Structure 1
Amino acid sequence: MNRNTLHTLFFILLIGLMALPGATHAQQRPIFSQYMFNGLVLNPAYAGNQKQWVISMVHRDQWVNVEGAPKTNSLITHTALENRPVGLGLIISNDRIGIHDDYSMFASYSYKLKLAVGTLSLGLQAGGNYTQSNFELLRRFHLNDPTLTGTVTRFSPNFGTGAFYSNSTTYAGISVPYLLNNKVYNSADVISQATERRYYFLTGGHVFSPSPSVKLKPSTLIRYQEGQPLGMDLNMNVFLQDVINLGGSYRSGDSMIILMEIILNRSFSFGYTYDHTISRIRNYTDGTHEFMLSYRLNIGESKCHSYF
């Protein structure tokens, strides 16, 4: 049995654990490694945080060399409304994993309250996922399984909320971006139906300035999905001359991450991360690549570059 066949069988087993009859819950939402560049992917209250109009395109190729591994393409945009304490955002995404093709769109709204020190933003988001699952693609492994036929489609609405506090050097946020526990399958052929589970995110970070040309930003993300172990990211970013951002992250039980962002000019920036897998799947993959291209436009007298 060659290496490619092993990769295929391993991933089909993984898909089966997450999606086939008998599963009770699964992780349905993609994870990004460059969320520190655009907090909207975690928290709707982040919309319009920096008084800029931001457009980001993200491509994530997860678990390279594993057939059917997740591939995600996302368009993320948000803006503040000039002279109003309101932010608006939109995330459009396509996530492919194995036999499943998921399209999602979520709109965000935030309202900002000026405090004595800093700003507290409260946010809401709403939208849904449209998913197609082509079970015919599994028949080459299970030719006589009568349940592996046809294509199942479903639409799942959802909504979420969050809060985000920030001042010139510090930020903290808490969010539950998907509140509804939707059923993953709505088919009479499925004996026990899998369901989504809520995510809870807690984020925080602080920017230090050891010199005018160097900024240090330690940060963390704590994530919890109902029925799953608590997860944590520990991050450190180093900003050099406000042009180059180098960083590293440890994602508990999953990966070590190398991060790079280049500020190309006042409007454009490019980001890249490489996730070195440390979980048991590391024997089957060369890691994960993620690319991001962002455009920022000033609103009023705000600065184009921000540290969070």
Structure 2
Amino acid sequence: MLNKYQMNPAYAGFDYSLNITGIYRSQWNELPTQPRTQNVNAHLPLYYLNGAIGVNVANEQIGYFNNTLGTVSYNYVLETSIGLFSGGIKTGIIQSTLNGSLLKTPQGIYEGTTISHEDPILSELNESGVGVLYGVGVYFIGNLFEVGASISRFPKTNITISDTKVELVPYINFYAESNIDITDNIVIAPSLLVRSDMVQTQIDVAAMAKLSGNVFGGLGLRGYNSRSLDALIIMAGWQFNEHYTLSYAYDIGLSSLRSSHDGTHEILLNYNLNKLIGAGLPPKIIYNPRYL
């Protein structure tokens, strides 16, 4: 909920200034070959183009695979009487690296410095391949709620690493959020995130309380049944001036993996310039004391 552009290019510009976000996520700590993610993205509105642009760079370690990607995006924003509609597209490249020296196969030979998978497809070396990424998204922001959907890796991305074929299938993100004013200083923001590759689906439900506009915290739940239940999420953050916001989230494991890992940590740092860009020069101000 604090890094919406990462999953949807149509969100770019909706923070109304240059917005830069950096995230480090370490999932399922103490589990061998655990997933790790580093992400930096930036986006800003271009009012004279009726839209916004953005750039996203990420590195993902998943098992013995390492994916490094970079994308750029543009989205067009339409202003209506009920809210803002946006449609965006992104494109970029991804490099997938497979550390073949760490793989093990049932029939392989691993004695001393000898590494042989006895498999004609799997390499014993650290090799990589490159593919092209595409994605599209739509987003709506109104007075009471916001909602968006995006498709990444569409069409599917094929990468060749030596003799190994890697297929990155498309996946869908759906996100919805509302802001409910409890008092003048307290706002509750419930949200829903659904991610699916049309084979497996995962759901995050969360609620964030914002106090006086600069302190926030909340709870979330990832999973919706006995097979998908993964974690209870605890979040907290602080906007310590008009430009910088720092937040932290910790996932308490609820699945059967909880006996093998030590939770998940995620740290986010956000910078917002809080200054109009691309709106052109303001008109000259003429002071007329006769109407004061």
Runs (5+) with no aligned partner, structure 1: 1-35, 302-308
Measured after TM superposition, the shift of residue 183 of structure 1 is: 3.1
> What does 1:26-45 align with in structure 2 at a 5 Å threshold?
36-45=1-10
Q: Deviation at 1:45? A: 0.2
User: Quick one: which amino acid aligns to residue 208 of structure 1?
Assistant: I
CA contact (8 A) 2:105 2:117 kept: no
**What whole-Å deviation, never above 9, does each CA across 1:71-103 have from its counterpart, x for those lacking one?**
111111111124442111111111123322221
In structure 2, give the amino acid aligned to 1:202: F
1:177 to 2:152 alignment = yes
Structure 1 residues 224-303: aligned runs within 5 Å: 224-228=196-200, 230-252=201-223, 253-300=229-276
Q: Report the Cα offset of residue 105 of structure 1.
A: 0.3
Q: CA RMSD in A?
A: 1.9
Query: Radius of gyration: which is bigger?
Result: 2
Are the aligned partners of 1:197 and 1:226 in contact in 2 as well (CA < 8 Å)?
A: no
1:217 to 189, 197, 200: 189
Normalized against structure 1, the TM-score is what? 0.80
Q: Secondary structure at the match of 1:286?
A: coil
What displacement does 1:40 show?
0.7
1:30 matched residue in structure 2: none
Q: Confirm or deny: 8 A CA contact 1:245 1:260 kept in the other structure.
A: yes
What is residue 44 of structure 2 aligned with on the other side? 79
Cα offset, 1:53, TM superposition: 0.7
Q: Structure 1 residue 63 and structure 2 residue 28: aligned?
A: yes
For 1:261 and 1:94, how far apart are their aligned partners in 2? 24
8 Å contact kept, 1:207–1:217:
yes
Question: Counterpart amino acid of 2:14?
Answer: N
Contact (CA 8 Å) 2:97, 2:161: kept in 1 or not?
A: no
1:96 has 2:68 as partner:
no
**Aligned residue among 201, 212, 218 for 2:173:** 201
Question: Which residue of 1 is the match for residue 287 of structure 2?
Answer: none
- Give the Å deviation of 1:186: 4.5
Choose the corresponding residue for 2:14, options 35, 49, 65: 49
Structure 2 stretches of 5 or more lacking a match?
111-115, 224-228, 278-292
In 1, the alpha carbon distance for the partners of 2:88 and 2:103 equals 41
Shift of 1:140: 10
SS at match of 2:167: coil
Q: What is the percent sequence identity of the aligned residues?
A: 24
Tell me the matched-pair count: 262
Given the two structures, how large is their TM-score scaled by the length of structure 2? Answer: 0.84
AA aligned opposite 2:259: N
Q: CA deviation at 1:294?
A: 0.8
